Amino acid sequence: MSNYVKELVEGIKNGSISEEEAEVMIRKAPFVDIGYAKVDMHRAVRQGTPEVIYGAGKTAGQIRGIVDTMTARGQEHILITRIDKDKASELSDIKDFTYYPEGRIGIVGGMPEPDGIGYILVVTAGTSDIPVAEEAAFTAEALGNRVERAYDCGVAGIHRTLSHMDQIMKASVIIAIAGMEGALASVIGGLADCPVIAVPTSVGYGASFDGLTALLAMMNSCASGVSVVNIDNGFGAGYCASMINHMHIKED
């Protein structure tokens, strides 16, 4: 049960919210139609996480309108993905807006306090994979997770990977990010006792086919416990890792 629903139920029980007020809140919850977007205000109730704004292809004005709609209805933390520096500059006057250029991520309302089971470890094969890794890392942090990073740990120098064994063994979830032939995911999968989310990147020479080679290699990993998201999809990996790292909430 989401915090929104818990607070609503508790409010009705303790008398701070009347049945009529609760009915209005529920009716208003599903979505708000602002013309160019139907803002899903029920997402947190269904999934435990509010709607995330995908910034690519949207104008700064459209993003601003969606943010205004969400904040007006009490959304405290808003994650905006795939925005460049120019678009972020146009949004800079939004209250409590912070831009993280490394991951092309914008946050409204600041980072929440981590409340996951443990920490998410984000590992890259090379320095060129860091932009995708930072998208994953900032996404996970924006969703309330402690994140540790281990970059440039590719299997071309396997000792670099093995130097992070303590982090690998203690993590609750690992995001393994690699281009080229994508071998890092299999290696990490063979060392870790937690779920591994593999992210192929479009980094590599001609026969890497803009990440397709890494994608197919990761999907064919012989290591158990490795799941794969789409090419360069750091957001998807960070989101999924957050869901795994918050499974304890269902026990409450």
Distance CA(41)–CA(22), nearest Å, equals 15
Please check whether residues 216 and 126 belong to one and the same domain. yes
What is the predicted pLDDT for the residue at 14?
Answer: 85
What is the predicted pLDDT for the residue at 72?
Answer: 82
| 162: containing domain | 119-250
Please check whether residues 48 and 94 belong to one and the same domain. yes
Please check whether residues 53 and 132 belong to one and the same domain. no
What is the predicted pLDDT for the residue at 76?
Answer: 84
DSSP code per residue over 174-231: EEEEE-TT-THHHHHHTT-SS-EEEEE-S-SSGGGGGGHHHHHHHHT--STTEEE--T
Residue 205 is assigned to a structural domain of this protein: yes
Please check whether residues 128 and 174 belong to one and the same domain. yes
Residue 232 is assigned to a structural domain of this protein: yes
Distance CA(100)–CA(106), nearest Å, equals 6
DSSP type of residue 153:
-
Please check whether residues 221 and 124 belong to one and the same domain. yes
| DSSP β-ladder status, 97-100 and 105-108 | antiparallel
Please check whether residues 130 and 84 belong to one and the same domain. no
Find the DSSP H helices in the chain: 3-14, 19-28, 43-47, 60-72, 85-90, 130-142, 158-162, 165-170, 184-189, 212-219, 234-245
What is the predicted pLDDT for the residue at 92?
Answer: 92
Please check whether residues 126 and 245 belong to one and the same domain. yes
Residue 113 is assigned to a structural domain of this protein: no
Going from the first residue of the chain to its last (252 residues), give the mean pLDDT of each consecutive group of 10, the final group possibly shorter.
64 81 67 76 72 92 92 86 94 93 93 92 96 97 95 92 93 97 95 96 94 96 94 97 84 52
Last residue of a domain, one of 82, 108, 134: 108
Q: Of all helices (H) and strands (E), which one includes residue 173?
A: strand 173-178
Please check whether residues 124 and 214 belong to one and the same domain. yes
Last residue of a domain, one of 41, 73, 108: 108
Please give the tally of structural domains in the chain.
Answer: 2
Please check whether residues 84 and 135 belong to one and the same domain. no
Distance CA(216)–CA(209), nearest Å, equals 11
What is the predicted pLDDT for the residue at 5?
Answer: 65
Please check whether residues 98 and 126 belong to one and the same domain. no
User: Tell me, what CATH number does 209's domain have?
Assistant: 3.40.50.1970
